[in-house]
Structure 1
Amino acid sequence: MSVISRRALLGAAAATAALPMLPAGFAEAAAPFRNDLPPAWHRFKWGEFEATVISDGSLPLGKPQDSFVGPGANQIPQMLSNEFLDPNAATLEQNILVLNTGRQLLLFDTGMGESMGADSKMFGPTTGRMLANLRAAGIQPEQIDMVVATHAHCDHVWGLVNAAGQRVFPNAQVAINEADVRFWTDDGNKKGPAFMGPFIEGAKKNLNAYRDRLVMVKDGQEVAPGVVALFSPGHTVGHTCYAITSGGRTMVNTGDLAHHQVLLLRHPMMEFSFDTDPKQSAQTRSRMLDRLATDKHAVLSYHFPWPGLGHVRREGEGFAWVSLPTNVTTL
């Protein structure tokens, strides 16, 4: 044992001996475990806009190799372990953006919701927290002017209505690409993977409730001042990202362009099992990531670690995710 170690131990022993003894019968009752989570929302300024990220809860996918396949998939365990992530489980976040432009209040995607009963918990009990967190952030659903949907998958539009089929956002329009509406409300597409049936039923129930309030979005269209649609198909036929610009700053809400901050950035040509067209999705992802890295725009990713804010940079043959620091004391 070194001299330093002996001294440290002797000092610790002396300090312990000097502590006062607790009186007889002194209670040492431990505080009970809470077993709950605090409200999850994060607010920040973006130029002249005010942005709030709302969590719908984590979305566990299970074994990564069941969802991420193709080029680079054999490296998944090592890639995750290198980042101190569980190599046997992939867990995504659900980061919903609320944008206050000063004239309108826009909600980007809605989370899993409760509209489809047991199917709303197909990924486990940790989803469906959007409404509670929205209210905790001081925002009421009736204040939302427009829901901007990146696409019509369950974790993005199933929160539009409640279990009874009633509109959760009674005063809102819903902006979405027309190709996605047509595809995900067509019973003829109930083929292929088992998830297609419930995905289509859920999209029908949620989107049809707003059928008189749908705004069909096209590539390059401004859906609100400072918010421009960027067509990015592959994950779904009408998947759309949104560039948000104010005060000379641009942030791109990338939706499901990439589902994992390590796997699909290091290997952008890797495929994801929930993609409608995996090959097209990989090509779109690679092209858009290159654009984001070149332009150095900020990114809000729906499924990246909370609250999903950061930048994409080139690294090796792929890309890397750099999280933006969050400051909770100032806007």
Structure 2
Amino acid sequence: MPIFDRRSFLRLGTAGLGAALLTNGAAARAPFLGTQVPAFHRFMIGSTEATVVSDGPLPLGKPAASFNGFAAGEITQLLQGNFLPTDDIVLEQNILVLNTGDKLIVFDTGVGTSTMFGPSPGKLPTTLVKAGIQPRDVDAIVLSHAHPDHCGGLVDADGRAVFPNAQVYISSADFNFWTDEAKLGSQLKPFIQIARRNLLHLRDRVVFYADGQEFLPGVQALAAPGHTVGHTMFMITSGSETFCYAADLAHHYVLLLENPRGEFVYDTDAKQAASTRARLLDMLAYDRIRLMGYHFPWPGVGHVVRHGEGFHYIAQPVKTVL
């Protein structure tokens, strides 16, 4: 094997280096595989086993179509500065599953059978099984809010419950807002239709939680309104650790953290959402609470710290062995 110093590397260039290396071994003939590993990730919260499963990515297209309230050129500058594409925003859908030993709890359910966001999402039933979790074993579904990418996976194409033995927990404010038949005549119609189809089919299983309530063992609701009227985060306590499922507090880990006063086009009340985001991110940073963002880069687990006038997200290193 030849030894190269920096000067010889620069003289050869990448093409010359590649040719030199290939002369010392067989050329690769294996086909490209074009697949990823199963999209699940496990970690511990105290004595509780947590699993993140993916419902697949959500492509949103041009950043300016989804994010408002930024100075001219600020979005491009932030994206470029973080080595991200400037012409297409893609959000992940990270779904949290808790196994407390007594209960199996799923937080949010992805888009289900809806084609609103194209063919990429809708993978939750598949990734759950790959993670060793059977939908029939789930005891509780906790919805942070009733947008299509959070409640859309409750029922299948035939209207049957995907999680046949689970109760469904949601805020009464969001349930009432997104199942309101009167809104079918508004621009919210597609969202209302999906919420009604998923939530009304399971109305007899719906349980309302209240702000501050510990409605499941170790799971406390924390109101985070603005994105929707009843959008809620959840503080999860196990042993000596508190963990935050932040849901849609911030849709983008750069744009809406570096500039928490920025706005997302799908917010019901964008000004309230920005105020809520700044307040709760400050709490999470001050208390050094580990969190998970539903739309953050896979698997969405890490911390936030103060950074200038905003915040910075630090992803938790992924452990390959629990």
Q: TM-score, normalised by structure 2?
A: 0.92
Secondary structure in 2 aligned to 1:282? helix
Give how far 1:6 is off.
5.8
Residue 69 (structure 2) pairs with residue 70 (structure 1): yes
Task: Identify which of 119, 125, 128 aligns with 1:131.
Answer: 125
Residues 301, 18 of structure 1: alpha-carbon distance in 2 compared, 3 angstrom cutoff: closer
Match of 1:117 in 2: none
> In 1, are the aligned partners of 2:184 and 2:193 still within 8 Å (CA)?
no
Matches within 5 A, 1:1-331: 5=7, 30-72=29-71, 74-114=73-113, 120-190=114-184, 193=187, 196-329=188-321, 331=322
% identity of equivalent residues:
52
Secondary structure in 1 aligned to 2:125? helix
Secondary structure in 2 aligned to 1:292? helix
> In 1, are the aligned partners of 2:107 and 2:144 still within 8 Å (CA)?
yes
Larger radius of gyration: 1
1:278-318, Cα deviation, whole Å (9 max, x unpaired): 11111111111111111110011000000000001000000
Secondary structure in 1 aligned to 2:291? strand
Structure 2 counterpart of 1:309, one-letter code: V
1:174-218, Cα deviation, whole Å (9 max, x unpaired): 00000100000012224654xx11110000010012111111010
Residues 140, 85 of structure 1: alpha-carbon distance in 2 compared, 3 angstrom cutoff: same
Residues 166, 86 of structure 1: alpha-carbon distance in 2 compared, 3 angstrom cutoff: same
Structure 2 counterpart of 1:278, one-letter code: A
Question: How many pairs were matched up?
Answer: 314
Residues 9, 165 of structure 1: alpha-carbon distance in 2 compared, 3 angstrom cutoff: same
1:76-103, Cα deviation, whole Å (9 max, x unpaired): 0110000000011111100000001111
> In 2, are the aligned partners of 1:162 and 1:168 still within 8 Å (CA)?
yes
CA distance in 2 between counterparts of 1:35 and 1:224 reads 41
Instruction: Indicate the RMSD between aligned Cα atoms, in angstroms.
Output: 2.4
Structure 1 counterpart of 2:129, one-letter code: R
Residues 7, 150 of structure 1: alpha-carbon distance in 2 compared, 3 angstrom cutoff: closer
Off by >4 Å, runs of 4+ in structure 1 = 6-10, 15-22
Gaps of 5+ in 2: none
Structure 1 counterpart of 2:106, one-letter code: L
1:218-257, Cα deviation, whole Å (9 max, x unpaired): 0011121111000111100100000001121111001101
